[in-house]
Chains A and B, each alone.
Chain A
Amino acid sequence: MGKAFVYGDHVDTDGIIPARHLLTSDPDRLAEHCMEDLDAEFVGRVEAGDVIVAGRNFGCGSSREHAPVAIKASGIRCVIATSFARIFYRNSFNIGLPILECPEAVAGISSGDAVHVDFQTGVIENETTGKTFQARPFPPFLLQMVDSGGLTNYVKQALEQEGK
């Protein structure tokens, strides 16, 4: 699928997209500054299908949805972390950025490793080392929302049903 960008614990939303770039909500323009203060080389190296692998509390800080939006628009296919901060977790589901909790994969993936993820089964494969890992399953409620195409579509359907 793509190569891994590996980061540590507590990657915060100011690191993912600094506030000085929140003068637009255009995903492509946000993507130009993704991870800028944390990893100046990220934007130049990221390719469609790559993955971010990080430690605990990924996405802590601000409620800015610009953070998962910037990551998604940069070409990153999914984020694998030991744990996620709650607003980032919620925002990622709402906007359709796949995120996976899997401490074992975080321990078993190094920077640049080739990684493949099966979103149906939650199996993460490190193709460089040949090791596989099982991500924690998502609650059915969230899967339903993902299946209906994110919160925007979910609400659209609800409004239609409610005749509004």
Chain B
Amino acid sequence: MGMTMTQKILAAHAGRANVEAGDYIEADLDVVLGNDITTPSAIREYRGMGASRVYDPHKVVLIPDHFAPNKDIQAAAQCAEVRGFVKEQGISNYYEVGRMGIEHVLLPEQGLVTAGDVIIGADSHTCTYGALGAFSTGVGSTDMAAGMARGKAWFRVPPAIRFELTGKPGPMVGGKDIILSIIGKIGVEGAQYKSMEFTGPGIANLSMDDRFTIANMAIEAGAKNGIFPVDDVTKAYVEAHPCVNPDMKKEFRAFEADPDACYEQTIEIDLSEIDLTVAFPHLPENTHPVGEAKGIAVDQVVIGSCTNGRIEDMEAAAKILKGRRVAPSVRLIVIPGTQQVYLECIKQGWAQIFVEAGGVFSTPTCGPCLGGHTGVLGDGEVALSTTNRNFVGRMGHPGSKIYLAGPAVAAATAVVGTIADPREL
């Protein structure tokens, strides 16, 4: 029986000719990732394992991005612990504040992940790198510790749902609208334990930034991973973003699903039919076309995160905000995902647009997405955010509410003060 793209990558990394859904395997890891919240626990487990040296100091990537720049004294202690471990172990992929970015925007940009890799990260949105044709999944701190110690992780080989994409997205419709509408269709556990494998001619109409956003939110459908085939768009992206760390010895490998690969289900998605989409509180599956959300008042708009903190996201927001002002009742917070995205915002004049519109333009951080800092919501407050989760209390007080959308809807909402359709401005 044929294998899916995910199964072929896993088989190759487990030294096996074949794997089937349900098999338990141990796979070799190309990258092990952690952040300032999950790494301290991983360090403790790593010591408990009796490990003394990481399996490869060039394949461990540590990024202080969640509570960094240090939001308080305890955060400073957690970041310092990560920094100390980096020094002790000689880890070459560490990005200090001022060079760091939000991990899932940063790793592809720096070329630390590539097609054909197997990647684990102690962060649930590690599934982002499936956009490049890699197998990439989120794990906990103990798995991260095991990965650092042995360079291996255990996996149950997942079955797959195939999403056959056709057509071309309409004006202003992007990756966020596509993935939200898919989650609205299949639900937050619609792909539980499974791969979401995207195929079909519609993929050629999606930029890398669209694909990163789509793969990023596979976890919000419960999936183990989301994955895109490798095409000319992928190759052009990887060529434009060569690995900054030659010691990683990255190897670009394009895997393809077998023609007779077995999928549990095939879901057809016509991209031209997808509308600008908003997920209502308190689950990402509560999706509605933007027209049904119009008029809902918001206190805060956040544009950024590992989901929508890339160059195209900043551009989409800047186009709407140019020559306009943020509504007096709204606090707009724009957070580019990395220093490179930040610089691009300056070069293109978008930073000036955000500031002149009356918005905050922040250094890269995960901050508000998880209710950490830089825009925590108070009781009864309402946010529209380009982030990925709208659970109760996710961005602050359990009495606050979060609506999720893409950057164009977010920018229009900031201007109008109520959830708005950017095509009508």
Point out residues on A near B: beta carbons under 8 Å: 10, 12, 14-15, 18-20, 22-25, 37-38, 56-57, 60-66, 68-69, 83, 85-87, 90-91, 94-95, 139, 141, 145, 150-152, 154-156, 158-160, 162, 164
Per-residue interface assignment for chain B, residues 61 to 80, with 1 indicating a CB less than 8 Å from any chain A CB and 0 otherwise = 00000110000101100100
Q: Kindly state whether residue B234 has any CB partner on chain A within 8 Å.
A: no
A155-B49, A156-B50 in contact; A87/B371 too (CB < 8 A)?
A: no
5 contacts between A and B (CB under 8 A): A20-B376, A22-B37, A68-B140, A91-B143, A164-B150
Q: Is the CB of A12 within 8 A of B41?
A: no
Which residues in A have their C-beta under 8 angstroms from that of B145?
Answer: 152, 155
Q: Is the CB of B142 within 8 A of A37?
A: no
Q: Is the CB of B146 within 8 A of A155?
A: yes
Which residues in A have their C-beta under 8 angstroms from that of B189?
Answer: 10, 56-57, 60, 83, 85
A37-B398, A152-B49, A152-B142 in contact; A139/B40 too (CB < 8 A)?
A: no
Which residues in B have their C-beta under 8 angstroms from that of A155?
Answer: 49, 51, 145-146, 149-150
Other-chain residue from A15, A64, A164 in contact with B51 (beta carbon distance below 8 A): A164
Report Cα–Cα, A12/B219, bound state, in Å: 13
Q: Kindly state whether residue B242 has any CB partner on chain A within 8 Å.
A: no
Q: Is the CB of B372 within 8 A of A63?
A: no
A14-B394, A23-B78, A151-B146 in contact; A65/B140 too (CB < 8 A)?
A: yes
Other-chain residue from B38, B75, B192 in contact with A23 (beta carbon distance below 8 A): B75
Interface size class of B (residues with CB under 8 A): 35 or more
Q: Is the CB of B142 within 8 A of A14?
A: no
How far is the CB of B376 from the nearest CB of chain A, in Å?
8
Which residues in B have their C-beta under 8 angstroms from that of A22?
Answer: 37, 66-67
How far is the CB of B246 from the nearest CB of chain A, in Å?
26
Q: Is the CB of A160 within 8 A of B393?
A: no
Which residues in A have their C-beta under 8 angstroms from that of B156?
Answer: 139, 141
Closest-by-CB residue of B relative to A68 is: B140
Q: Is the CB of B150 within 8 A of A14?
A: no
Other-chain residue from B37, B121, B371, B392 in contact with A15 (beta carbon distance below 8 A): B392
A22-B37, A61-B124, A141-B24 in contact; A86/B74 too (CB < 8 A)?
A: no
Other-chain residue from A10, A65, A83, A87 in contact with B41 (beta carbon distance below 8 A): A65
Report Cα–Cα, A56/B222, bound state, in Å: 11
Q: Is the CB of B50 within 8 A of A23?
A: no
Which residues in A have their C-beta under 8 angstroms from that of B38?
Answer: 63-65
How far is the CB of B22 from the nearest CB of chain A, in Å?
9
Q: Kindly state whether residue B193 has any CB partner on chain A within 8 Å.
A: yes
Which residues in A have their C-beta under 8 angstroms from that of B146?
Answer: 151-152, 154-155
Report Cα–Cα, A19/B260, bound state, in Å: 44
Q: Is the CB of A150 within 8 A of B222?
A: no
